[in-house]
Amino acid sequence: MFKKINDFLAGWPMTLVGGIFLAASFILPRIGVPAGENLAWVCVIICGIPLLYLAIWRLIFNKGISRISSALLISMAMIAAVLIGDLFAAGEVAFIMEIGALLEDMTTERAKKGLKNLIALAPAAGRVIRNGEEINVPVEEIVKDDIVRILPGETIPVDGVIISGETSIDQSVMTGESLPVDKSEGDSVFSGTINRFGTIDFKASKVGEDSSLQKLIRMVENAEKKQAPTQRIADKWASWLVPVALLIAVFAYLITGNIVRGVTVMVVFCPCALVLATPTAIMAAIGQATKHGVIIKSGEALEKMGNVDIIAFDKTGTLTFRKLEVTDVIPNGTLTVKELLTIAASAESRSEHPLGKAITEKAIAEGLGLIDISDFKMYAGRGITAVINGVSYTLGNENFILNAGFMIDKKTAAALNRLRSEGKASVIAADPDGVTGIIALSDILRPEAADMVNRLSSMGTRSVLLTGDNKKAAEYFASKAGITEVYADLLPEQKVENIALLAKRGKVCMIGDGVNDAPALKTADVGVAMGVMGSDIAVEAADVALMTDDISRLPYLKWLSDLTVKTIKRAITISMCINFAAVTMSVLGILNPTTGALVHNAGSCFVVLLAALLYDRKYI
């Protein structure tokens, strides 16, 4: 009951009503309506009850010195002002404090939908072979050593090892790899990943809570618990402001014999400017960031980003576009580049494999006409065969070509090794006379990546690459972007481990876009997700989301965070100087509770104005 009343009074509508009555209580007595002063009671009740509730709650439930908070100090000042009959001063300090609390709440609310989306990836049922029969059972009933059958397009329900069949599996949910991974007998498969082509049977090895997807969910949950919000700076300082304020107030009363001076000290000592300094600066910074397509979810993230000195990047979808493109067409013999691309695109025109689709799209984009094919056959995860104008063509990976009886000469082998070192996937084409050429495909590095890394370096921030992709691809893209520290072949839990190791060397920010990045995003001091290209889960797990795919916004985010931290420190210093001057004037009798409240209010407004200037600062 009390909590419902408190929540109702603490909202924006009632707080604004209290402010209107407070303003009326100040104006009316000065235009000949003395009774108007009593209108301040409305503000005292509306804004004072939530303060008293918070102060009492912390006294009862908090531990140690945290029992003493800014709410307690302001509640004491408010009660003292009421006791000496200065209702305006009582309402004013309560109103300013409540506005500060509401502003801070606006900056720290965070959605919690990401975990639900992660859980939704887990299939509800699976197809198992028991006593020679194929039956569908709930995923909870799949036990270790069960034989599970997966058809094309289905999500794998539990971890296991393939015992029959060949396929290509989209493992981006776990590793972030942009290319499907070819799998055959003896290879491991993971829950939550998607079977793209062939039918496979596998023996379940990790089920229930032990499966990879459930571990991923638990890691996000655990990291969420570790991200407790920092205690407000006003409450940290209130642990000594309260006794200091009381001592000075008692001292002023004992020396002068004037209770009004003691109450005035308590009024001007209230840390309202201190309370407003942080949330208003953060609100202004978040507003500016939003104009630049950067969504900052909490003030804590903004402050922490200002202290970050290591930024860890995922590769696929972050430094790259997560889009396969043909990068090299290398004929081997009499064919021209266009002829080789036309033949390969025509042969692949019926393929569902991402590599085949990308080759066909490249030919169409270049205006090359496709040739009709016949006798098309696809070998899942390995390659295809097709007949074009009466000639049989074979296209696929190196093992498929070798197993088909073709020889790979030194020139072709050298080209394949070079392409592998650049992190590219190769499709080899062959006709009855031998290998006719190679078509290489790769994800594409964002053109702004190198400049972005260089700008971060100039700010004293080191860049690191953490990726589930293979080592050669990772090192190739890292060298292009100017990143020298690379960790490759990482599963989600290994990314978390590497973030923890990096954290021993400094404050870490993680940039990612995939579901597999969610635990690392939550574990890092600050997580940044690619909001357009990224998965919903990564965006929800992160503290900051880039709403464009322009990663050149990262240096801007670092600049804004640094500036915000400096502004907050400057505002806090000014607020403390104003408090010191006002306390001195109160002890000397220059200020009374009402004028003290006005000086106090003016100081709060000055701090708010200083913080608000962040909104229009220009990034150079």
Amino acid letter, residue 385: T
Residue 520: helix, strand or coil by DSSP? helix
First-last CA distance in the chain = 53
Q: In the structure encoding, which two tokens stand for residue 354, read together?
A: 């991402």
Read off the tokens for 431: 């006709």
Rounded Cα gap, residues 557 and 372, in angstroms:
52
Q: Is 449 left (phi over 0), alpha (psi -120 to 50) or beta?
A: alpha
Residue 21 neighbours by CB distance under 10 Å? 21
Match 């029959």 to its residue by tokens. 164
Residue 229 half-sphere exposure toward CB, CA atoms < 13 A: 14
Using CA atoms, how far apart are residues 160 and 162, in angstroms rounded to an integer?
7
Pair type for strands 434-442 and 194-195: unpaired
From the list 314, 443, 469, 517, the catalytic residue is: 314
143, 197, 329, 416 from 344: Cα distances, Å: 44, 20, 10, 17
Crossing angle of the two packed helices 70-83 and 87-108, in degrees rounded to 10: 160
User: Residue 592 to residues 47, 84, 257, 261, 343: CA-CA distances in angstroms?
Assistant: 22, 11, 14, 7, 91
Distance (Å, rounded) from C-alpha 19 to C-alpha 92?
A: 8
Compute the residue count for the chain.
Answer: 620
Here the tokens at position 527 are 């997580």
Instruction: Tell which residue, 581, 314, 347, 341, has the closest CA to residue 469.
Output: 314
CB 459 within 8 Å of CB 555: yes
User: Cα separation of 468 and 561, whole Å?
Assistant: 29
For residue 292, give every residue at least 6 positions away whose Cβ sits within 8 Å of its Cβ, in sequence order, or none. Answer: 553, 556, 619
How many Cα atoms within 13 Å fall on the side-chain side of residue 39?
A: 18
Element (H, E) at 129: strand 125-130
- Amino acid, res. 491: L
Cα(543)–Cα(110) distance, rounded to whole angstroms?
9
Tell me the C-alpha distance between 375 and 379, whole Å.
Answer: 13
Question: How far apart (Å, rounded) are the C-alpha atoms in residues 293 and 553?
Answer: 8
DSSP secondary structure letters along 34-76: GGGGGGHHHHHHHHHHHHHHHHHHHHHHS-GGGGS-HHHHHHH
Q: Name the phi and psi angles at 296, rounded to 5.
A: -100, 120
Beta-carbon contacts of residue 539 (< 8 Å; ≥ 6 apart): 114, 529, 531, 545
CA distance 87 to 70: 20
Q: Is 431 a catalytic residue?
A: no
Rg (CA), the chain: 33
Q: What is the set of active-site residues?
A: 314
